[in-house]
Amino acid sequence: MSEQSKPFVVTDRRKFTMDGELRPDADPSPEREERVSTPPEPATPPAQPQPAASAPEAAPNQELPAPPTAEENDQARRAYEMTADRLDTAIRSANPGMDHPPAMNFEQLVQSVYMTAMMQLGAATHEGQQPQVDILGARQSVDMLGVLEEKTKGNLTPEESRLLDSALFELRMAFLEITQALARSAAAKAPAGARPGPAGPSIVR
């Protein structure tokens, strides 16, 4: 009989009926492993811990935003100057005879920080009132001028350098005077029952 003329035979190899009972004509031999289970997958090696370098490296400090372009800086400067001019015009219109405010320069910058520090050291106290001293704020103002001195070294005119040196000298001497007065006031109040000393400056913070 040729290969093509052989009859096609279907063999029921199920061991159990639909009711779950063992079929009487079932093959008692155990089924091959490949018929009852899927081929085992290749063994997977245990997961290795990922090194820290595989993660995206974080910057040690928070990244700063990209600086503005030259065009953006120029646009911001021109818009600021136009707005400031309109503000000056409105102020002079509301206050006839008022002079145009002077342009900011290095001298005014030093004088502004100087006056702020002197007020923090109690220089603006009215006569008869106890000075109110912001000693920490005064220290920051003096240090601010110190940073300005360091960063502008070699880039100042003789007049600007002399102004900055004088402002720093006066503020540092005033700072020492106030801190010594505070120390004397605290020492006078320390002993119990001792006669209170003269009222000294009080610390704001």
Instruction: Name the nearest CA neighbour of 174 among 196, 145, 198.
Output: 145
- Report the pLDDT value the prediction gives residue 200, as an integer from 0 to 100: 52
Give the 3-state secondary structure of residue 142.
helix
Spell out the domain ranges in the chain. Answer: 105-191+198-205
SS3 133: strand
Helix (H, G, I), strand (E, B) or coil at 203: strand
Tokens of 37: 């289970």
Radius of gyration of the chain measured on its C-alpha atoms = 45
Instruction: Output the six-digit token pair for 88.
Output: 């000056």
Question: Can you spell out the DSSP letters for 173-185?
Answer: HHHHHHHHHHHHH
- The reported pLDDT for the residue numbered 37 is 47
H/E element holding 93? helix 70-94
Pull the structure tokens for residue 161: 């350098």
Residue holding tokens 């409105």? 90
Q: What is the pLDDT along the chain (205 residues), one digit of tens a residue?
A: 555 555 555 555 666 666 666 666 655 555 444 444 455 555 555 555 555 444 445 555 678 889 999 999 999 999 999 998 898 888 888 888 887 777 889 999 999 999 999 999 998 877 777 778 899 999 999 999 999 999 999 999 999 999 999 999 999 999 999 999 888 888 888 765 555 444 455 555 4
Element (H, E) at 132: strand 132-133
Residue type, 166: S
Amino acid residing at 63: E
The amino acid at 205: R
